[in-house]
Amino acid sequence: MFENIFLIGFGIRAEDELIKILVDNYKESKIFCVSDFYLQDEKTTNSIVNYKIKNDKNHPLLKSNHHEETVINNNDLSIINLPQVYSVEYRNLVAKEIPIIISTQTFDSYYLHCPEDNNNQIITTPFIDSDINIKIKITHSKNNKKNITRNSNSFIRISELSIDSDKYEVKLNEKKINLTFKELELLKLLASNPGRVFSRENLLKNIWDYDYYGGTRTVDVHVRRLRTKIEDHKYNFIETIWNVGYKFNEKI
């Protein structure tokens, strides 16, 4: 799910309601509260944030310096309060393709401030746990699909992983990964079909051929070597489907 969630433009009461819902349901997420991108009284707001941290150690609530650069560069999901967040700041979030959920009193208010934008998920007050959870899941799913980019059949980008078949080149976080030809072909096949389960026999047929002397064990060996090159504690691209085969993780 989203690592960093920013609450932007909320008053103390609404902020507290959202924090409780998010902390109860997304314990791994870090929550940043931003009164505005440009802070008029940093000392006052920071004292409020520190008070919340001090009085509830279970809240993964972090202090933000509230500058726009910090909000944008560390942002995985923004829940913003209209009309308190000005349109120029909202547009900056949109321009950076940061997932957004809009909080507004009425749907009419949303369309008044964002008349040409119908792609955001909307929550209205009073906040309802189930509604917020559904909107976050929908936003996460849509964001996953946006992270998968294909420019023709020769180039695939999924999150921080890119595969360029024309150049026989794979990069992770813009760092080149050295793969053998078979490893690259295996990765390309799986990454081109995120979520699809391939049996070992199917992979053997597509990447090698049925008569390859190594049998299905060859598939396991290549997957293991591939994982050591592209995976660590942060990335889990290839999932094992026990007694069947493998699939590319569609939730990345």
Residue, of 95 and 61, whose pLDDT is higher: 95
Read off the pLDDT band of 153 (50, 70, 90). low
Phi/psi zone of residue 215: left (φ > 0), alpha (ψ -120 to 50 degrees), beta?
left
The DSSP call for residue 9 is S
Judge residue 108's burial from the number of C-beta atoms within 10 Å of its C-beta, 0-12 exposed, 13-18 middle, 19 or more buried.
exposed
Segments of the chain assigned to CATH 1.10.10.10: 148-248
Mean pLDDT of the chain: 76
Q: pTM for the full model?
A: 0.50
The answer to whether residues 139 and 30 touch, using CB atoms and an 8 Å cutoff, is: no
Is the pLDDT at 136 greater than 70? The verdict is yes
Residues 209-232: tens digit of each pLDDT: 655 556 788 899 999 999 999 987
Residue, of 178 and 42, whose pLDDT is higher: 178
Percent of the chain with pLDDT over 70: 68
Find out whether the peptide bond into 194 is cis, omega within 30 degrees of 0: no
Q: Which CB contacts under 8 angstroms, 24+ apart, belong to 101-109?
A: 101/77, 101/132, 101/135, 101/136, 101/139, 103/10, 103/14, 103/18, 103/79, 103/127, 109/82, 109/83
pLDDT of residue 155: 85
Is the pLDDT at 88 greater than 80? The verdict is no
Domain 148-248 has CATH 1.10.10.10: yes
92-117: average pLDDT:
68
The CA distance from 35 to 12, in Å, is 9
CATH fit for domain 4-146, picks 3.40.640.10, 3.40.50.2300, 3.40.50.1820, 3.30.565.10: 3.40.50.2300
Residue, of 210 and 45, whose pLDDT is higher: 210
Segments of the chain assigned to CATH 3.40.50.2300: 4-146
Residue, of 7 and 225, whose pLDDT is higher: 225
Give the contacts of 52 (CB within 8 A, at least 6 positions apart): 19, 59, 61
